[in-house]
């Protein structure tokens, strides 16, 4: 796995923990699960990247409170969407 994916996955793990422990407002297991699903699909192959992209778009739409905690991840998503 590339360093870029490792960085994004680490950011995701921090966000999941913060969501579960209430460090980002009230504990939100549903948002944490959505982050976990998106991060699980973040793999360096075209099919999984497409799925991860879809998951992250839905995450940003459905759980906007996660955006400040996943800045690098959403910056990566924005670059993919512009390409």
Rounded-to-integer distance, Cα 21 and Cα 47, Å: 32
Identify the DSSP state of 40. H
pLDDT value of residue 82: 73
Which of 70-83 are b and which e, b meaning 16 or more Cβ less than 10 Å from the residue's Cβ? beebbebbeeeeee
| Mean pLDDT, residues 12-19 taken together | 96
* Residue 20 pLDDT greater than 90, yes or no: yes
Residue range 11-31: mean pLDDT, rounded: 95
Q: Once rounded to an integer, what is the mean pLDDT over residues 6-12?
A: 95
Q: What's the pLDDT at 4?
A: 86
**pLDDT tops 70 at residue 44:** yes
Write the pLDDT tens digit of every residue in 45-82.
889 989 999 999 999 999 999 999 999 999 999 998 77
Number of domains in the chain: 1
Domain that holds residue 54: 3-82
Contact 67, 60 (CB under 8 A): yes
């Amino acid at each position: 796995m590339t360093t870029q994916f490792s960085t994004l996955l680490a950011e995701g793990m921090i966000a999941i923990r913060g969501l579960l422990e209430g460090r980002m407002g009230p504990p939100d297991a549903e948002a944490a699960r959505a982050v976990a699903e998106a991060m699980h699909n973040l793999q360096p192959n075209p099919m999984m990247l497409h799925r991860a992209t879809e998951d992250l778009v839905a995450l940003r739409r459905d759980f906007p409170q996660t955006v400040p905690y996943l800045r690098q991840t959403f910056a990566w998503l924005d670059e993919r969407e512009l390409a």
